[in-house]
Structure formats: C-alpha cells, structure tokens
A and B are shown apart, each in its own frame.
Chain A
C-alpha cells in the first residue's frame, strides 16, 4: 500500500482513507469519509468521490489534506 493524497488520484481510482486532518476532519468523518472507508474517484476536477453509495464533492482546498492508501 502506498500513502498519497486525494488530489493525486486519477479518475476511477479506488483507495482507502488513511487520514483526514484539518478543520473539516470531523465533518468529513461524519459524511462517511472516515479512516478506513473505501472511496472511488468519480471526478477529478472538481473532485467528487464515492464512499458507499454516497457521492461527496470536495473543494480543491481540501483534497491535499486527505491522505489515502492505494494498492501499489
């Protein structure tokens, strides 16, 4: 597994949330983007990820602060 940030993922990539830091971390967890949650990138710019059956749009300000684990 390689740790990277969400803004580096390509369209269709799947990953696991490793760490969400910053002011919005609690909100991200409550919206389903908690550590260990599997996500899929539905759109890169602007960033839309799918966690479970929920789609979440993320401001470009936030994506560099979300660490994800991807299969090497």
Chain B
C-alpha cells in the first residue's frame, strides 16, 4: 500500500502554510454539488482524478481547497466512483486529491439511507465535519432532527445546511478548521446487520418524533404519468424532442456569431500577415481549425443547461427508468437515451453527456455507438446525395432522409448488442435508481454546470482537437500545386502528375488528395472514382467538408450554397466521361456517410471520455468497416437493380 502523498507547494498559501484540502463525500442526490457550488462558486474547475476515469470538481474558498468527490452510495461497491473515492481517501491519487479533512454530506430528508456511507467515511480515520444538508426539505416533511444527538453518534461536529438556500454555509466554512477524527463507536462496513442496528439507533435518538406518513399525492400522480410504460415514453420523447429543437433553434445565432467573429479575425490576420506558410498556418490552420471546433460550443452549453434543469427537477431519473426496459434489450442503460437523442445535433455533446450513465461499462457502450446517429454535420451531405438520387421526387427524397436516420439508429443498437457480447461483455447493469423528490430546478446550478462543461470543452478544443485539426488542414493544404500562370509556364515546362489529376486542383495535389488517390482501390468496389475518394478522405476532418471539396474538385468553386455549383457536382463526369454520380455510387456514398466515423473532434472526445485512445481507434475502425461493408452491399444491390 502506498502512503499518503505529501502536498506540493502549489497547495500552499502565500505564508507557506499548508492550505487544508477538504473533500466533500456523500451519496448521489444529497445536494453535495450544490454545497460545493455554494462554497466555491465560479472558483472551480473539473479535473480528472489521476489513474481513474472519474472526474471531480476542485475549487477554493477562503479557508481551504475543496474537492467535490463523485457521489457514491457506499465505499465498498464495485463501481468506478466508489473506487475513486476510496483511492482518494487513502491518499493514493496524488497530492491534489489527498484530503486532509472530509465534509461528509448527509441528506436530512433521508437520514437513514445517508448514514450507511457516513459510517464508512467517518471510520476511515480522517478529520471530519458533517453537513446535514437539505434541512429545509426535512422540515417541510415534518422531520425534526437533533444535530447534537447526531453529533454524539457520529463523533464529529454536525452543521445543519440548506445549500440551495445558502443556509449554514458560513457555519460550515468556520467548522472546517475544527474538523477532527471521530472517536465514536462506528459499525464495521462488512457487517450489514451491525450497520442496520446502528442506523436504527441513530434514527431513534436523533429523530425523537416519528415522521408523519407521507402524503405526497402530487409526486404519486406525477410518477404514475412519468413512469407509465407507454405514456412515460411519449412524455419523454416529447421532452427530448423539445430539448433537441431548442439546441437547433437557440444555437443558430451564437454559432453564426462565432463563425462571423472567427471570419473577421481570419480576414484581419490575412490582411496584415505576409503571404507564406506562416500566414496559411495561422489563418487557415489555427483560426480556421478553432472556428470549426468552437462553433459547437453553443450546442454544448444549451444541452447541458437543459439537462441540468431536467436532472435537478427529478424528472430525468424517471425518464431513464422508463427507457431502461427498452434499451436494456440492446445492452444499453435507460440513461443512454439522452446522449443518443442529442447525438442527432452533434456527437460531441452527446458523448460528454454520457456521464449521466453511472456504470462505466454501460457508459462505454453509449460512447462507442452514439456517433452512428445522424448529426447535423451530415445534413449537407445528405441534401447533396439525396438531391442527386431523387431529384424532382420529393416523397422518395423524404423517405430516403428518414431512412438515413433510421439506418443510423439500427446500426447503433446492433453495434451495442455486439459490443456487449465481445469487447464490453455483459448485459447493461440492472437499474437501481433513486427517484429524487420533485423540486424546482436551480438556475444557478444549471448555469454553473454550463460553465463547467463549456470550459472543459474549450480547454480540449484549444489543445488536442486543435492539434488534430491543424494536422489535417496541413495534409489538405500541402504541397501546393505548381504555378501554372502564363509567366511560370513560359519560364519552365511544368511537370504534370503522372495521374489524371488537374494540376491546379490544390486538394488533388495535397497530401490528403494523394492519399485519396492512393486509397482509391479500397473505394473502387463501392463504385467511386478517385475524385470521390479524395472527397471522402478530406471529409475525415469533418463530414461537411465533403461538399466543399467536391465543389472545388469538380465545379471549380467552393460556394456550396450556389445552385449552379451543386448542379455542376451532380452532373460531374469521371476521367473516362461516365457520370461520377450513378444511382449506385450515390446510394453507396450516402450509406457510407450515414455509418462512417468521419469526425476527428469526436474521436478526441471519445478518447477522453472513454479513458484512452484505444476506444477511439476501435470506434473509428468499427464504424469505418461497417460503413464500407454496408456501402458495398448497397452498391451491389442498386447496380443489380439497374441503378
């Protein structure tokens, strides 16, 4: 066993005195994060607990550095959150996550249940203070808890708090310095009957008056509707479609604004910088790459704001419970429906919202299959290809559109089923879910969640994602085609590539273009020529790039909103004069785009959320393989049908 790791200088105050590191420990739904927000506010950030796949929020208040450890029902469970808390309490996760004192957070409205974890945490020998949180809810239910009696049983100071109302926060802050190890006789966690008897004793003495019978008729009526096998699903679909609509509707203006700002910045830099590789790197690589990534930020903020409201209200737990029966058949937990629906806007926030799924293996399944669902970046490609396939046939075009979405959903569900029998073996964990009391959601908490998720994404966008986008931009931009101006032509006889590429097509001349030509034999069975292969290769940076690449390659312009350019693409010819887009090649291309993983930022987020690049590699390999196979079968069938 490793010993506790000494704290670094970074944790010291200006007087070089060690600053206490206080960890909040508690079960889910006890208001632990609300308490953390009340203590730290915006002075916080999310960080990965080293050596785990679990995140914790860290922050500071005037008296201490605070760690909001993940909520766990007990310390002895076989769950990542429980393991992470155990490791931190044992001092095995580095200085930043080694607490010198604990705030054990109890739910005053559900005291008996909270005591199970409290006994385990307090008996760890750490200096402790107990926050008896949600006392306002307990009082509304007629529960009168005696903090002094509770303090005697637990052997440490008990501070009544209501984090939502910021009640008792100052008292808790001042108590941090008085935290000390408990001297009470606490039950051993491996003896359930002793724990049960101890809990009964604590409740009997701390709550002298027995609580009145629960008369929460409104909650009963809401539960009847929200957890009904049919009505509950319909309500959930309505709620999530509204969320989905809100993401599209309200994100449009800020997304346009972000593009406008980056466009102006790019234009200004292009005007002041001298021509050359450095200018290309800054304007097209860095500014262009950042723009293409940060543009997703409004969708992420809106999604997490709305999810936070739904979660805080108590509704989301009911919805997850209802969806569990349906999704379990495919090895997915009920909570998967939120990421799966939001993946239709963008896979990046969808994968980030998979944190709602408590079990790591279930979460992995969700992360791996979510990108199969048709995101908004696929839409321009669908519009182009379905327009080619069913020009002047709006009904068939509509069916094809719906079919593309259904195909993605089927692929996601079947892939999950396969994953649960191979790489992440086992059925989805049976759902045991606390259904928290209904309450008005906290706007402050929702905004803080937005801030936290948004900042996490920005940090990621500014590092790994930007790096990957720059590499792909470089592959698409270099080397430049030779100068074919009359002057240059007069100066020298220009070399022409041995292949059939137009020498002035920058995309065809680039490394990405050459790779596209190199891998063309792989795509040939799908009915694609070298130009389509180049278009597909460049779209691995982002799917929508396909349309602009094809515009440059075959239409000589990049205005993809110009009907003439789109008509030119549809009517493009191969080098041998045959149409580039036959029914078979367009259909196979459409199926490929529905199923293939062509989004580097999504892969970066997958690697982060799943806990390693091997999962991103698996996702890429599996989705690309399935896409190729399905596209090939499509080409065979449509060709056989005379397409």
Residues of A within 8 A of B (CB): 24, 26-32, 34-37, 42-43, 45-46, 48, 50-62
Contacts and interface: CB of A to CB of B under 8 A. Distances in A.
A58 B432 contact: yes
Contacts, number: 104
Interface string B38-72: 00000000000000000000000000000000000
A32 B432 contact: no
B340 interface: no
A54 B113 contact: yes
Contacts of B15: none
Contacts of A27: 73-74, 77, 79, 432
Interface residues of B, number: 43
A36 B77 CA distance: 21
Interface stretch (B322-330, B391-399, B594-602, B611-619): B322-330
Nearest to B203: A52
A46 B325 contact: yes
B477 interface: no
Contacts of A24: 430, 432
A30 B430 contact: no
Contact of B192 (A29, A31, A45, A57): A29
Contact of A48 (B77, B196, B328, B435): B435
Interface string B320-338: 0110110010000000000
Contacts of A46: 227, 229, 321-322, 324-325
Given A31-B432, A46-B325, 13 more contacts: A26-B74, A27-B74, A28-B432, A30-B117, A43-B224, A45-B229, A48-B321, A48-B435, A53-B437, A55-B219, A56-B432, A57-B317, A57-B321
Contacts of A35: 192-193, 196
A55 B431 CA distance: 13
Q: Is the interface of B mostly helix, strand, loop or mixed?
A: helix
B110 A54 contact: yes
Given A27-B77, A53-B109, A54-B110, A34 B434 contact: no
Contacts of A45: 229
A29 to B, nearest CB: 6
Contacts of A26: 74, 76-77
B211 interface: yes
Nearest to B322: A46
B433 interface: yes
B77 to A, nearest CB: 6
Interface in B131-165: 141, 143
Interface string B178-209: 00000000000000110110011000000000
B116 interface: yes
B17 interface: no
Nearest to B75: A30
Interface of B: 27, 73-74, 76-77, 79, 109-113, 116-117, 141, 143, 192-193, 195-196, 199-200, 211, 214, 219-220, 223-224, 227, 229, 317-318, 321-322, 324-325, 328, 430-435, 437
A46 B113 CA distance: 22
A34 B431 contact: no
A59 B224 CA distance: 17
A58 to B, nearest CB: 6
Nearest to B113: A32
Contacts of B227: 43, 46, 48, 57
A16 to B, nearest CB: 12
Q: Which 9 A-B pairs have the closest CB atoms?
A: A32-B113, A30-B74, A30-B73, A59-B430, A57-B321, A55-B435, A61-B430, A59-B431, A57-B433
Contacts of A36: 196, 200
Contacts of B73: 27, 30-31
Contacts of B328: 59, 61
A52 to B, nearest CB: 5
A26 to B, nearest CB: 6
A27 B73 CA distance: 7
Contacts of A42: 220, 223
A53 B199 CA distance: 15
7 contacts: A27-B432, A34-B116, A35-B192, A37-B112, A37-B196, A52-B112, A57-B435
B204 to A, nearest CB: 13
Nearest to B435: A55
Given A53-B214, A57-B321, A30 B109 contact: no
A65 to B, nearest CB: 9
B434 A55 contact: yes
Given A46-B227, A58-B432, A29 B116 contact: yes
A11 to B, nearest CB: 10
Contacts of A59: 324, 328, 430-432
Given A59-B430, A61-B430, A30 B116 contact: yes
Contacts of A56: 432-435
B116 A58 contact: no
A32 B27 CA distance: 11
A52 B115 CA distance: 13
B143 to A, nearest CB: 8
